[in-house]
Amino acid sequence: MSSLRAEQISVTIDQYRLLDAVSVALHSGEIIGLIGPNGAGKTTLLRVLAKLLTPDSGAVALDDISLRQISPERFARRCAYLSQGAPTHWPLRVDKVVALGRLPYLGWRQQLCAEDIGAIETALALAEVAHLRERLVTTLSGGERMRVLLARIFASQPHFILADEPVAALDPYHQLHVMELLREHAHRDTDDRTRGGVLTVLHDLNLAARFCDRIILLAHGRIVCEGDPRAVLTSPMLQQIYGISVRSIEEANEFSVIPWRRTHG
């Protein structure tokens, strides 16, 4: 059972305390949704977990080894990061973009070996973008692009996926598709070692409720509440944190919430 654990993380930038003694643990086999109002510190927490930002205090450990002792390359093989907005600066072919996911494995090699090509093909199939392989990534629709970037992540064969608002600009069809792919990565059921973990920042409470095993609610740099979606996404909690009222839905054993109305205070 693998874990990515953050203990007592604090981050202060320009005298503004972004995170205050936050502890988070991501285990294999689970998909965690990180929610909270704008400016709560979600992206900051994700970046700390992804080894992109060094916290002022506290430590992060992968399988109980401190991140400071793991080389960036080794860490890249275990954890993959999907950044917000996910830019692609050059109009590369889709298969070349996905091949970028193999960079942590290349070392000084310039050519892809059979193993790399295998991983790329598997990734293309998993993300259902194999038919787009020769297209230029800049000519794709938003949803197709996001799946290609996910394929890039799959190509790295990571254990843990850290995603920052992966579905922000997508239409409903693609939103569901991407969330399904992420959940599959976490729940894919072979044996304990290859089951992954996903931590994703989401704004959409509905998607968070339906697809995540656990929810962490962050506000003003602190964890307000965490646990099962049903336990966290309650009216009083959401009213306090977001200032909204919600309607909850229970349908065929699936739980969901719909933001309903703004309240005052």
| Shortest Å distance, C-beta 34 to other proteins | 17
Separation between Cα atoms, residue 52 and residue 26, nearest integer Å: 17
Separation between Cα atoms, residue 165 and residue 70, nearest integer Å: 26
In angstroms, the first-to-last Cα distance of the chain is: 42
Task: Give the distance from CA 130 to its chain's centroid.
Answer: 22
For residue 29, give every residue at least 6 positions away whose Cβ sits within 8 Å of its Cβ, in sequence order, or none: 1, 186, 187, 192, 195, 196, 197
| Shortest Å distance, C-beta 196 to other proteins | 16
Nearest CB to other proteins, comparing residues 42 and 47:
47
Task: Check: CB of residue 31 under 8 Å from CB of residue 213.
Answer: yes
Nearest CB to other proteins, comparing residues 129 and 205:
129
| Shortest Å distance, C-beta 220 to other proteins | 24
Q: Give me the residues that bind other proteins (CB under 8 A), please.
A: 47, 50-52, 71-77, 79-83, 85-93, 96-97, 100-101, 103-104, 106, 110, 149, 152, 156
What is the DSSP track for 53-108? Answer: S--SEEEEEETTEEGGGS-HHHHHHHEEEE-SS----S--BHHHHHHGGGHHHHTT
Nearest CB to other proteins, comparing residues 81 and 211:
81
The radius of gyration of the chain from alpha carbons, rounded to an integer in Å, stands at: 19
Nearest CB to other proteins, comparing residues 150 and 232:
150
Strand, coil or helix: 164: strand
| Shortest Å distance, C-beta 65 to other proteins | 16
Nearest CB to other proteins, comparing residues 83 and 248:
83
DSSP 36: -
| Shortest Å distance, C-beta 47 to other proteins | 7
Nearest CB to other proteins, comparing residues 152 and 210:
152
Task: Check: CB of residue 21 under 8 Å from CB of residue 6.
Answer: no
| Shortest Å distance, C-beta 73 to other proteins | 4
